[in-house]
């Protein structure tokens, strides 16, 4: 269905979306089990940052990035269980996002949670937050600040 719907959000005011934009996170984000429906909101045109905005709670949104744009060797393992849960086979297109935390007023302290990536089946728009138990994978992995001096 391509009917345009609208929802109010705390950070972005009213946003519009269609059914196909909706992502269903099974079980929600850990710690927030009641909100399973999200849409992606671009931070700024051309930005690597996006928001996963909850459709069930206007205040709930997570800043996310595609970790492949920041970390060359990061690829969360798709376990048999994950593949079965999300209906992923080898060719199924998928999105992987990591949640970014920026302590208030401290952009230089920005970190990505590499131990809790969100994997989304692009065909079904169903996803889940995966827990990676490997202690070498950081929950607060520093994310380089985009240089303010980069060429315009």
Partner 1 sequence: MLVLTRKVNQSIIIGDDVEVVVLEVRGEQVRIGIRAPRTVVVHRKEIFDQIQDENRAASETQPEDIPG
Per the CB < 8 A criterion, the answer to whether 109 and 100 are in contact is: no
What track of x and - describes contact with partner 1 for positions 74 through 93 (by CB under 8 A)?
------xx--xx--------
Q: And the tokens for 78? A: 């798709």
CB of 97 to partner 1, least distance (A): 12
Under the binding rule (CB under 8 A), the answer on residue 29 touching partner 1 is yes
**Where is 80: in which H helix or E strand?**
helix 80-86
Measured from the CB atom, the residue of 23 and 61 that comes closer to partner 1 is 61
Instruction: Provide the total of helices (H) and of strands (E) in the chain, helices listed first.
Output: 1, 11
Residue with tokens 């935390």: 101
Write the CB contacts of 94 (distance below 8 Å, at least 6 apart in sequence): 86, 88, 119, 120, 121, 122
Site for partner 1 in 101-130 (CB under 8 A): 101-108, 110, 113, 115-116, 129
Measured from the CB atom, the residue of 18 and 139 that comes closer to partner 1 is 139
CB of 139 to partner 1, least distance (A): 5
CB of 36 to partner 1, least distance (A): 14
Measured from the CB atom, the residue of 93 and 144 that comes closer to partner 1 is 144
């Amino acid at each position: 269905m391509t009917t345009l719907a609208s929802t109010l959000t705390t950070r972005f005011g009213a946003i519009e979306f269609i059914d196909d934009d909706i992502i269903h996170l099974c079980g929600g984000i850990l710690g927030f089990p009641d909100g399973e429906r999200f849409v992606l909101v671009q931070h700024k045109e051309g930005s690597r940052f996006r928001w996963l905005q909850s459709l069930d709670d206007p205040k709930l949104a997570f800043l996310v990035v595609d970790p492949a744009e920041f970390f060359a060797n990061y690829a969360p393992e798709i376990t048999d269980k994950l593949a079965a849960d999300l209906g992923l086979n080898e060719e199924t297109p998928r999105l992987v996002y990591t949640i970014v935390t920026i302590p208030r007023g401290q952009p230089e302290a920005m970190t990505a949670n590499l131990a809790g990536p969100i994997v989304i089946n692009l065909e079904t728009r169903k996803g889940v937050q995966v827990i990676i138990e490997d202690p070498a994978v950081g929950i607060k992995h520093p994310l380089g600040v985009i240089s303010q001096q980069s060429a315009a």
